[in-house]
Amino acid sequence: MVLKAIKNNWYRFSIKNKQLIFIGIIILCVSFISIYIHAVTHKSIEQLSKSVTDYSRINNLLVQLRINKLFVESYLKEKKDKDLNEYKQSKDIIKLVLDQIEAKQDTTQSYFLIAAIKNGLVSYYEGCNTALEIRQSGDENYYVHFFQAARIYEYIEHYIRQLLHIKLSENSRFYDRLIDRASIMRTITFAGILAMSIICLGFGLLFSNYLTKPVRKLAAASLQMSKGNLDVKQIEVRSLDEVAVLANAFNKMSMSIRRLVTDLKQKSAIEKRLYEEKLKNITMQQLLKEANFLALQSQINPHFLFNTLNIISRTSMFEQAVNTTNLIQSLSKLFRYSITNQNSNVTLTEEIKIVEEYMHIQMYRFGSRIKFDLRCDIDTDDIIVPCFILQPLVENAIIHGIESKENGGMVRVKIVKRDEIVLVKIIDNGAGIPKSRLEEVLNREKETHMGHTNSIGIMNVLNRVNLYCNDKKCFKIKSKVNLGTLVVIAFPAKGGERKIV
């Protein structure tokens, strides 16, 4: 009957209360074991502390007795009042320590030894006092009484050593008992931990099965409903906890869903028409947003951005931000160059200047990781080339050749003249281009965009150079992986008019 009542009450408890009951039982068991271990340990520590204290006091008595004798000897030799005062103070300390030792003794043998020490101290003090008085009077026979006191001192010292030996023997027996007690405590602790582990594991298995069994039923029923089978069985749970509430809620929900499905089928045609109208409205709104965006985008032209850069440059100049001003001016020149000369031919001098402005930005960005070297020993003012020929190649060397290297590298632009041909070489010591990739670029198997500026890549530069020079051999690339890349462009020394390419 009792077990049945407990079982019924258990079913009525919530999951939280069940967990609290189990945790409370575990805490009580652990607390009991901890209190027992603490009590035994505290008692052992007290006994050990008492033994150490007794031994320390006896040893202190022996030390103070030796100090007392040293003061007596020092006074008899040098006759200093300081030594006499120290001798008297030492007697008081010896008496205090001896009283403390006597108060803590609980064996007959220790009692007799302390009595012998006291009697010996009386005789020792008498001999020392007599020797000190004779020494104060100037008589040289003081040593006779001192030697008698010294012999008594040896007996006292022997008694103190015996007392120490007795205490050591008692402590040895105490240590043996302490070791046995520690072994028993270790066994009890291990057994308690093992029992608690078994209880926790058993309760965990029962509790998890108790919780997961109805949950598994709920999961199976939910899976059936997700597959379209709405005629699932009612889930029954005997308990009255949260799992039961969840199961009842699921049962009500499944019934409601079945009723709702019937209503939804009747309203599906209306919903479909509403959806189509909504889709049309969304499409119209999207088209309107795109139109508004295109209208706004058309208002923001490159001239507006260029003018904005000039305003920012003047503002930073007034604020004396030199580096910011230089960077904005370099970017402004790049932007103005792309606006003004996007489809025209320019002088090689202008191309070199725009490369320098670009490298000024990149060198400020990468710092010491990138170096730039420009070598040009010829007059480039009369050499006409297509716009944006050098800068994309230099950019490609930085982005795909040097940027990925931890230590950075160098980009070198070298311009020389041979007969009526001007050779422009862009050299870097970067990562290089794999052979297969290089063949793909040169054979124009697919369009290649390498770099960022205005979407101009190697393919674009190659096409425009070949078109300008009317010679497919005027553009060459050589590269080795991990060594670098060399790009050579050959221009006629006399480029003629700035015609559109």
Q: Is 380 a domain residue?
A: yes
The CATH number for 193's domain is 1.20.1440.210
Whether residues 110 and 239 share a domain: the answer is no
Q: Is 209 a domain residue?
A: no
Query: Residue 126 burial by CB count (10 A; 0-12/13-18/19+): exposed, middle or buried?
Result: middle
Residue 151 CA to residue 158 CA, distance in Å, equals 11
Instruction: Look at residues 249, 283, 317 and tell me which one is the last residue of a structural domain.
Output: 283
Whether residues 184 and 257 share a domain: the answer is no
Residue 156 CA to residue 114 CA, distance in Å, equals 10
CB 401 within 8 A of CB 437: no
Q: Indicate the residue type of 309.
A: L
Q: Is 354 a domain residue?
A: no
Write out pLDDT tens, residues 180-213.
777 787 788 788 788 878 887 887 777 677 667 7
Q: Is 259 a domain residue?
A: yes
Instruction: Look at residues 160, 182, 203 and tell me which one is the last residue of a structural domain.
Output: 203
Whether residues 237 and 151 share a domain: the answer is no
Residues of the chain with pLDDT under 50: 284, 287-301, 303-304, 445-456, 496-501
CB 337 within 8 A of CB 329: no
Residue 364 CA to residue 370 CA, distance in Å, equals 9
Instruction: Look at residues 242, 263, 283 and tell me which one is the last residue of a structural domain.
Output: 283
Write out pLDDT tens, residues 231-261.
777 777 666 666 777 777 777 777 777 777 7
Whether residues 148 and 270 share a domain: the answer is no
Whether residues 198 and 269 share a domain: the answer is no
Q: Which domain holds residue 460?
A: 369-492
> Which residue do the tokens 């795909």 mark?
400
The CATH number for 418's domain is 3.30.565.10
Whether residues 30 and 150 share a domain: the answer is yes
Whether residues 274 and 415 share a domain: the answer is no
Helix axis angle for 142-226 and 242-299, nearest 10°, is 80
Sign of CA dihedral 453, 458, 461, 463: negative
Whether residues 185 and 238 share a domain: the answer is no
Q: Is 338 a domain residue?
A: no
Whether residues 199 and 237 share a domain: the answer is no
Angle CA 14–16–20, to nearest 5: 120
Question: Which two three-digit tokens encode residue 116?
Answer: 């012998």
- Decide: helix, strand or coil at residue 422: strand
Whether residues 272 and 399 share a domain: the answer is no
> Which run of H or of E encompasses 412?
strand 409-418
Q: Is 308 a domain residue?
A: no
Residue 479 CA to residue 476 CA, distance in Å, equals 10
> Which residue do the tokens 């041909």 mark?
421
Residue 298's pLDDT is: 37
Residue 415 CA to residue 380 CA, distance in Å, equals 9
Residue 489's pLDDT is: 92
Question: Which two three-digit tokens encode residue 461?
Answer: 């530069």
Residue 312's pLDDT is: 66
Whether residues 256 and 193 share a domain: the answer is no
CB 127 within 8 A of CB 109: no
Residue 87 CA to residue 74 CA, distance in Å, equals 10
Residue 377's pLDDT is: 86
Residue 97's pLDDT is: 85
Whether this prediction's pTM lies above 0.95 is answered by no
CB 332 within 8 A of CB 313: yes
**Ramachandran area for residue 446 (φ above 0: left; ψ -120 to 50: alpha; else beta):** beta
Residue 242 CA to residue 210 CA, distance in Å, equals 12
User: Beta strands 421-428 and 409-418: pairing type?
Assistant: antiparallel
User: Beta strands 409-418 and 384-386: pairing type?
Assistant: unpaired
Residue 411's pLDDT is: 94
Whether residues 258 and 373 share a domain: the answer is no
Beta-sheet strand order (sheet of 484-492): 370-376, 409-418, 421-428, 484-492, 475-480
Overall domain count for the chain: 3
Q: Is 107 a domain residue?
A: yes
Q: Is 238 a domain residue?
A: yes
Rg (CA), the chain: 52
